[in-house]
Amino acid sequence: KAGVTQTPRYLIKTRGQQVTLSCSPISGHRSVSWYQQTPGQGLQFLFEYFSETQRNKGNFPGRFSGRQFSNSRSEMNVSTLELGDSALYLCASSLSPGGYPNTEAFFGQGTRLTVV
Protein backbone atom coordinates (compact mmCIF):
# COMPACT_ATOMS: atom_id res chain seq x y z
CA LYS A 1 0.00 0.00 0.00
CA ALA A 2 1.58 3.30 -1.07
CA GLY A 3 2.20 5.85 1.63
CA VAL A 4 1.49 9.55 1.68
CA THR A 5 3.30 11.30 -1.16
CA GLN A 6 4.30 14.92 -1.03
CA THR A 7 5.72 16.80 -3.97
CA PRO A 8 8.06 18.43 -4.47
CA ARG A 9 10.45 17.35 -1.70
CA TYR A 10 12.55 20.50 -1.88
CA LEU A 11 11.76 23.94 -3.17
CA ILE A 12 13.53 27.29 -3.25
CA LYS A 13 11.44 30.39 -3.88
CA THR A 14 12.04 34.11 -3.82
CA ARG A 15 10.32 36.43 -1.39
CA GLY A 16 7.06 37.70 -2.85
CA GLN A 17 6.46 34.65 -5.05
CA GLN A 18 3.77 32.10 -4.48
CA VAL A 19 4.08 28.34 -4.11
CA THR A 20 1.83 25.31 -4.39
CA LEU A 21 2.56 22.07 -2.58
CA SER A 22 0.85 18.77 -3.26
CA CYS A 23 -0.13 15.86 -1.04
CA SER A 24 -1.50 12.53 -2.24
CA PRO A 25 -3.01 10.57 0.65
CA ILE A 26 -3.11 6.85 1.16
CA SER A 27 -5.73 5.25 -1.04
CA GLY A 28 -9.10 5.30 0.71
CA HIS A 29 -8.17 8.06 3.13
CA ARG A 30 -10.48 11.05 2.92
CA SER A 31 -8.88 13.29 5.52
CA VAL A 32 -5.79 15.35 4.77
CA SER A 33 -4.21 17.79 7.19
CA TRP A 34 -1.29 20.15 6.76
CA TYR A 35 1.39 21.27 9.20
CA GLN A 36 4.27 23.71 9.26
CA GLN A 37 7.44 22.84 11.15
CA THR A 38 10.12 25.39 11.95
CA PRO A 39 13.02 25.25 14.41
CA GLY A 40 11.57 28.16 16.38
CA GLN A 41 7.87 27.27 16.50
CA GLY A 42 7.97 23.50 16.15
CA LEU A 43 4.99 21.82 14.56
CA GLN A 44 1.91 23.94 13.95
CA PHE A 45 -1.43 22.95 12.48
CA LEU A 46 -2.36 24.69 9.24
CA PHE A 47 -5.65 23.17 8.11
CA GLU A 48 -7.59 19.99 7.71
CA TYR A 49 -9.74 18.77 4.83
CA PHE A 50 -12.27 15.99 4.76
CA SER A 51 -14.22 15.02 1.67
CA GLU A 52 -13.23 18.22 -0.17
CA THR A 53 -14.35 20.49 2.68
CA GLN A 54 -12.05 22.46 4.94
CA ARG A 55 -13.03 21.40 8.44
CA ASN A 56 -10.62 23.45 10.45
CA LYS A 57 -7.93 26.06 10.08
CA GLY A 58 -5.06 26.92 12.36
CA ASN A 59 -3.88 30.37 13.28
CA PHE A 60 -2.16 31.33 10.04
CA PRO A 61 -2.69 34.39 7.83
CA GLY A 62 -4.88 34.28 4.76
CA ARG A 63 -1.80 33.92 2.55
CA PHE A 64 -1.98 30.25 3.44
CA SER A 65 -4.77 28.41 1.68
CA GLY A 66 -5.58 24.93 0.55
CA ARG A 67 -8.02 22.73 -1.20
CA GLN A 68 -8.89 19.09 -1.60
CA PHE A 69 -9.97 17.40 -4.78
CA SER A 70 -12.53 14.67 -5.33
CA ASN A 71 -9.78 12.04 -5.36
CA SER A 72 -8.71 13.30 -1.89
CA ARG A 73 -5.45 14.76 -3.17
CA SER A 74 -4.78 18.08 -1.53
CA GLU A 75 -2.81 21.17 -2.37
CA MET A 76 -1.72 24.04 -0.20
CA ASN A 77 -0.80 27.43 -1.53
CA VAL A 78 1.22 30.20 0.03
CA SER A 79 1.07 33.56 -1.67
CA THR A 80 3.41 36.52 -1.27
CA LEU A 81 6.10 34.42 0.35
CA GLU A 82 8.02 35.82 3.29
CA LEU A 83 11.40 34.71 4.63
CA GLY A 84 9.63 33.37 7.71
CA ASP A 85 7.66 30.92 5.58
CA SER A 86 10.81 28.83 5.18
CA ALA A 87 9.89 25.56 6.83
CA LEU A 88 9.18 21.89 6.45
CA TYR A 89 5.58 21.47 5.34
CA LEU A 90 4.07 18.14 6.24
CA CYS A 91 0.78 16.58 5.34
CA ALA A 92 -0.93 13.64 6.95
CA SER A 93 -3.77 11.45 5.80
CA SER A 94 -6.22 9.36 7.76
CA LEU A 95 -9.55 7.67 7.33
CA SER A 96 -11.25 10.24 9.50
CA PRO A 97 -10.33 13.72 10.75
CA GLY A 98 -7.50 13.59 13.24
CA GLY A 99 -7.39 9.87 12.81
CA TYR A 100 -10.03 9.66 15.52
CA PRO A 101 -11.70 7.29 16.15
CA ASN A 102 -10.66 4.94 13.38
CA THR A 103 -6.92 5.01 13.05
CA GLU A 104 -3.86 7.12 13.46
CA ALA A 105 -2.64 9.62 10.90
CA PHE A 106 0.05 8.76 8.36
CA PHE A 107 2.56 11.45 7.48
CA GLY A 108 4.33 12.25 4.25
CA GLN A 109 8.05 12.99 4.09
CA GLY A 110 7.39 16.69 3.80
CA THR A 111 8.32 19.49 1.45
CA ARG A 112 11.22 21.62 2.57
CA LEU A 113 10.58 25.18 1.41
CA THR A 114 13.32 27.76 1.47
CA VAL A 115 12.42 31.38 0.80
CA VAL A 116 15.33 33.61 -0.19
Residue 98: φ, ψ to 5°: 70, 5
Between CA 97 and CA 52 the distance in angstroms is 12
How many residues are listed for the chain in this entry?
Answer: 116
* Residue span 73-92 as binding mask against another protein, x where in contact by CB under 8 A, dash where not: ---------------x-x-x
Q: Which amino acid is at 80?
A: T
For position 104 contacting another protein by CB under 8 A, the verdict is: yes
Per CB under 8 A, contacts with another protein among 14-33 are: 33
Question: Per CB under 8 A, which region of 23-31, 62-70, 78-86, 104-112 contacts another protein?
Answer: 104-112
For position 98 contacting another protein by CB under 8 A, the verdict is: yes
Element (H, E) at 47: strand 42-50
* Contact yes or no for 37/88 (Cβ under 8 A): yes
Residues that bind another protein (CB under 8 A): 33, 35, 37, 42-45, 48, 55-58, 88, 90, 92, 97-101, 103-107, 109-110, 112
